[in-house]
Structure 1
Amino acid sequence: MGEIIRVLIIEDSYEDAELLTQELIKGGYDPQIVVVDTAEKMAAALDQQAWDIVFSDYSMPHFNGGQALLLLREDNPDLPFIFVSGTIGEEIAVAAMRTGANDYIIKGNLKRLVPTMARELDQAKLRREHRKSEVMVKHLAYHDALTVLPNRTLLQDRLQAAITAAQFGNYPLALLLMDLNRFKEINDTLGHHRGDYLLQQVGLLLSDILFEPNLVARLGGDEFAVLLPRLTGKDDIHAVAQKILHALEKPMMIEGLPIEVELGIGIAIYPDHGANPETLLQRADVAMYTAKENGNGYAIYEEKLNQYSPRRLVLLGELRHAIDKNELLLHFQPKVDLESDCVVGVEALARWQHPEHGFIPPNEFIIPAEKSGLIKPLTQWVLNAALQQCHTWQQQGIQINVAVNLSRRNLQDSQLPDLIAQLLLTYHLEPTCLGLEITESSIMSDPTHAVEVLTRLSGMGIQISIDDFGTGYSSLSSLAKLPVSSLKIDKSFILGMTENKNAMIVKSTIGLAHHLGLNVVAEGVESGDLLEKLSAFGCDEAQGYFISRPVPAEDLTRWLRESSWRLK
């Protein structure tokens, strides 16, 4: 038996069809033949099965080869089509090939049939492989390899199309951006292969709960997006966000391990928050970071949240210049011991007096610096300036501890302890001269690396304090396991102590912290009444406007010598 080949013959003469069949058999093939002579029969044959090649007469009473060719090309652009006719002339044959025929053979010269067919079958195979490669390349260009979800490129294309449709239809659409909390910790603890599996499961879950025409995409890393191309009402957004959060409440099982998956969702709405894909993506990103910081699960963009206005981007560039050229300055706010009424330390706070814009509020450059990665050189500048001032005070006979704030990114920097050790050596200072203040959230974002860095710093003899206590998610018992010596109760609790509930919270926090061996500092003390209450509650130290506002080093030096609060 020869090679099996499925042949569709369009011919009204069964004798001619038989001659063609015999020629194929002589050429070493086992042809599976179907002969048709009308458009209806041809359409039915094309629907019935796949074919390897089509031979067609040109002129027939009820059908012609030109019509057959058009019908075939609508169904299959790659299937070889060869005219076998005794009436077709050179001019007609050339015209036919221009419309999609692969070749033509004169019925009286069938010796060309087999080699022509063999050539065209090979060419068809190459075309199919090329088309398959094109499809694969296109799929890879528009889809994420790990999750097989649409990628950022396809999302932007679909988002632009959805915006165009929404403009004509005069209806809103929404873009949701989300990433997983503590995904780096999962990767580091369980391994990247389990982290990849988790991303795949999250992608499947999102796809299962969100149906067409909604689009789920993976943008890279642990970041996903959802496009809601048509909203009947803005309440739909809350329903979808809550549906996603609810679906992730149940832990995901990875190799028998239950993994809690939490994420922050940022939402931007067309046309309220932007009229193009770039703006909507940027503003959904801003809202996502807000959701992650406030712990509410999701947030809808508001103008006041945007840390990335053109002016802020310009300021970030100018901040780099200000750091490099030593154009920033420090203000210092004292902390006093409530039992002895002595000043026991100061907190160093970065300030920026811009040559054109004047005073830039700290939140306008510190928060963007944290998000852009500029926080590392900024913190290095603050540490250097603070320790240099501490050295100057010691030369003046003022022995005082200087505290510097660290951010989440600083706690991920394994080189930070070495930098601080070198600065202490440069300024001939003991480690006890330096204090470091960190927030609860900065630890919880990556506990493993944070604890490693903090342990090294504490081992050097540096005092570590938890700042803004009460605004994060940690408990006193969890903080007791960290190498910290004190905590600062957030000023929102101190200022609200006129309310009985807040006063009891502050009193209970002080008692529990003492039980765990922690020193307690109250920040935001703005009146003598608050100071008296805190002293009655047993608070150790206080800081706030009632004692002193943050002031430049020269003013603080004068204040230390003239104030009723004396140095210890």
Structure 2
Amino acid sequence: MNIEGSYNGYLVALSILIAVLASYSALMIAAKISSSKGTVKFFWVFAGALVMGSGVWSMHFIGMLAFHLHMEVKYDVGLTIVSMGASVISSFIAFYITAPQNINWYKIVSGGIIMGSGIVMMHYIGMEAMVMPAKLTYDKTIWILSVIIALAASFAALFMFLRFRTQSSASWLKAVSAIVMGFAICGMHYTGMKAAKFHSHTEMGAESPSVDLFLLYGVTVTVFLILFVTWTAMFFDRHVLEKMAFQDSITGLPNRNEMNRFFDTYSGHEKMGVLFLDLDQFKAINDTLGHHTGDLLVREVGLRLQEFVQKDLQAYRIGGDEFLIIIQHCDQDRAEKLAVQILESIKKVYRIEGNELYVTGSIGISLGTIQENDRSILLKTADTARYKAKSLGKNQYCVYKEEMGFHEVRKLELEKDLQRALEDQQFFIEYQPKWNVKTNSLWGFEALLRWKHPRMGIVSPNEFIPIAEETGFIIPLTRWTLEEACRQCKVWNTAGIAQSVSVNLSTRLFQTDHLIDWVQDALEKVGLEPCLLELEITESMVIYDIQDIVRQLQCLREMGIKVSMDDFGTGYSSIGLLDRLPIDTLKLDRLFTYDLDSPSKRAIIHAIVLMAEQLHLDVIAEGVEHEEHIAFLTQLGCFVMQGYYYGKPMKQDIIMTWVNQKQSAASSSDSNI
């Protein structure tokens, strides 16, 4: 005989409530899956699958308890556990497949089929777990309908999962979606129950419906415990860990991590504006008033930036005194107006612990879309524009233009090609003569490094030397220059031109503490006398570690090597250090050679020459290009000169011809006298 069952309305309502709560929790976890990476992402995928799978299973089990057959029904523990495993595992696989940001349609289809199959397996394995004095069969039409509903509910669940995974906050739409998902899942269950037919060969009495209260309470408590733990973890993550990880502790603004998360989750196609701001006088305040005052100043700046925050505008502190402002739906006019307002706000007086502080800011603006540009391009172009704003005098903003990026791109290319340039022998040396006017004879040569790039042609030393300094490549480059100059000087010496050669040194070589060994190796390798080598240092070099530099220079001079100070008068050292520095020569920068008809300029040069005489130092004037220069400098007591008048930098293969011509001209001049 067929047995008709009945439902406990309260338990049916409870099953629906659990399905809705589980759906809502899974949607909330979806945002965590999207914004997490690595092990944390795996954890949230597992948590979402556990909540979804156990929620569906619990709804099913309570729905089973709500159904009464007026007979004693027990449940096989093993099959019951297997049914739960099918629900959780299928949910995990489906969530894992669809977790990446960019997924194909077939992954969504695969995930929906897997989750739907898991729900069907869970339901019908759970039905098989029923131990009762009755036979169970199914109406095929309704059974097929239940499978279709399960698949539809699964696709709906994944669609909602993908729809809300970029939204971590609660919303009414998310709540409505959870209700829809909950009713869809319950619809599958109760459709499946409708398909079930119970047959008994014995006459059933009119037993009153009974409920296994222990199982009911156990399942209910377990479900709510899972939901409680999940919501507690999300609350802690959002309000404690997330605050620590994504909020700046000093200003309260979002930090660099939050900025990266914004770019990771942003899917808009409209143009956005990126404003890169930093404070102009911040380092001076930090150094004079201390880091505590600096932090208080940064906090005040953060508060002022908070006033500009809107729904589509957010400010971030990305480190030190640097801030980033991102504006969605932004054109150049809006970005420039905002920059003006921010600069006006920043420069107002700050009163911090009894100090009145005045600072300004520099802002670089970059405009573009995430689809057209990688985030790093937007940030880098904004940073490039910020440097341009500083160079314009600070307290200004600058909008990035393509020509600004040309210099940066070229710099990166040169930096990348430097190593290969040395290996491929793209560097060469030109030698510029130094002439003694008093004796009308050659004084020596300066080795000047040149780079012939295979694509860019001759690259100026003013361009590649600073890059080599920044990257540290200046060390092997100078060692190569030193060895080549010594080798060429030896060739000249053998040919009867006993002239010295000078090589410029970088501060980096002194910092290695291997300079003396490298110089000695270069001399020994070619067999050059130390007195024919001169090393040129810059005046600003001595601001780093004067004691150590003096020690190394003394060792070099004890070897017989000469030392000269290049570009004297343009650096940062004090004249009072000259008596401590072990040097032989001062080289006047070309800045002094220009405008020699100025009485004040001639007075400065004359004072330097007199000082050098007292210190027993030679003086060489650079940038000599006209006879008027020679006349003025000679009158002032400077007799050694270097410049285009006596010779431009020349390659080694024409040096001998030039020397012979100069010697012939000098001999002719002497004979005429």
Q: Which residue of 1 aligns with 2:632?
A: 533
Larger gyration radius, structure 1 or structure 2 = 2
Asked if the contact 1:464–1:485 (Cα under 8 Å) also holds between the matched residues in 2, the reply is yes
Mapped partners of 1:291, 1:415: distance in 2 = 40
Deviation at 1:332, TM superposition (A): 0.6
Mapped partners of 1:466, 1:294: distance in 2 = 32
1:325 equivalent in alignment to 2:418 = no
TM-score, length basis structure 1: 0.62
Q: Which residue of 2 aligns with 1:494?
A: 593
Q: Which residue of 2 aligns with 1:119?
A: 222
Mapped partners of 1:469, 1:246: distance in 2 = 41
Mapped partners of 1:100, 1:443: distance in 2 = 79
Deviation at 1:458, TM superposition (A): 3.8
Compared CA separation, residues 522 and 239, structure 1 to 2 (3 A): farther
Q: State how many pairs are aligned.
A: 479
Compared CA separation, residues 279 and 67, structure 1 to 2 (3 A): closer
Asked if the contact 1:264–1:291 (Cα under 8 Å) also holds between the matched residues in 2, the reply is no
- 1:99 aligns with one of 171, 182, 186: 182
Provide Cα deviations, 1:247-286, integer angstroms capped at 9, x if missing partner.
Answer: 99x99x9xxxxxxxx99978454369x9653334444555
Mean Cα deviation higher: 289-298 or 424-433: 289-298
What's the % identity of the aligned pairs?
26
Mapped partners of 1:246, 1:475: distance in 2 = 37
Q: Which residue of 2 aligns with 1:435?
A: 534
Q: 1:145-544, aligned counterparts within 5 Å?
A: 154-155=258-259, 158=262, 167=271, 173-176=274-277, 207=302, 210-211=305-306, 212=309, 213-218=314-319, 224=322, 226-227=324-325, 229=327, 232=334, 234=336, 267-270=364-367, 277-283=375-381, 313-354=412-453, 358-440=457-539, 444=543, 447-448=544-545, 452-453=548-549, 455-461=551-557, 462-477=561-576, 482-500=581-599, 502-510=601-609, 519-539=618-638, 541-544=640-643
Compared CA separation, residues 408 and 241, structure 1 to 2 (3 A): farther
Mapped partners of 2:360, 2:514: distance in 1 = 29
Deviation at 1:560, TM superposition (A): 3.0
Asked if the contact 2:298–2:321 (Cα under 8 Å) also holds between the matched residues in 1, the reply is no
Asked if the contact 2:271–2:367 (Cα under 8 Å) also holds between the matched residues in 1, the reply is no
Mapped partners of 2:618, 2:345: distance in 1 = 43
In structure 1, stretches of 5+ residues that fail to align are 1-55, 187-194, 254-261
SS of residue paired to 2:271: helix
Provide Cα deviations, 1:347-372, integer angstroms capped at 9, x if missing partner.
Answer: 11112344555434334443443344
Mapped partners of 1:348, 1:108: distance in 2 = 99
Compared CA separation, residues 478 and 517, structure 1 to 2 (3 A): same
Mean Cα deviation higher: 206-215 or 550-559: 206-215
Q: Which residue of 2 aligns with 1:10?
A: none
Provide Cα deviations, 1:514-556, integer angstroms capped at 9, x if missing partner.
Answer: 6666544322111111222223333363211112111112323
SS of residue paired to 1:392: helix
Residue 271 of structure 2 aligns with an amino acid whose one-letter code is Q
Compared CA separation, residues 426 and 345, structure 1 to 2 (3 A): same
TM-score, length basis structure 2: 0.54
Residue 375 of structure 2 aligns with an amino acid whose one-letter code is P
Asked if the contact 1:390–1:400 (Cα under 8 Å) also holds between the matched residues in 2, the reply is yes
Asked if the contact 1:307–1:368 (Cα under 8 Å) also holds between the matched residues in 2, the reply is no
Mean Cα deviation higher: 387-396 or 534-543: 534-543
Compared CA separation, residues 303 and 242, structure 1 to 2 (3 A): farther
Residue 127 of structure 1 aligns with an amino acid whose one-letter code is T
Residue 427 of structure 2 aligns with an amino acid whose one-letter code is L
Mapped partners of 1:438, 1:180: distance in 2 = 31
Deviation at 1:513, TM superposition (A): 5.9
Q: What do you get for the CA RMSD once the two structures are aligned?
A: 5.9
Q: 1:3-22, aligned counterparts within 5 Å?
A: none
Residue 467 of structure 1 aligns with an amino acid whose one-letter code is D
Mapped partners of 1:214, 1:288: distance in 2 = 16
Compared CA separation, residues 318 and 208, structure 1 to 2 (3 A): same
In structure 2, stretches of 5+ residues that fail to align are 1-9, 30-50, 69-122, 124-145, 154-178, 187-208, 668-673
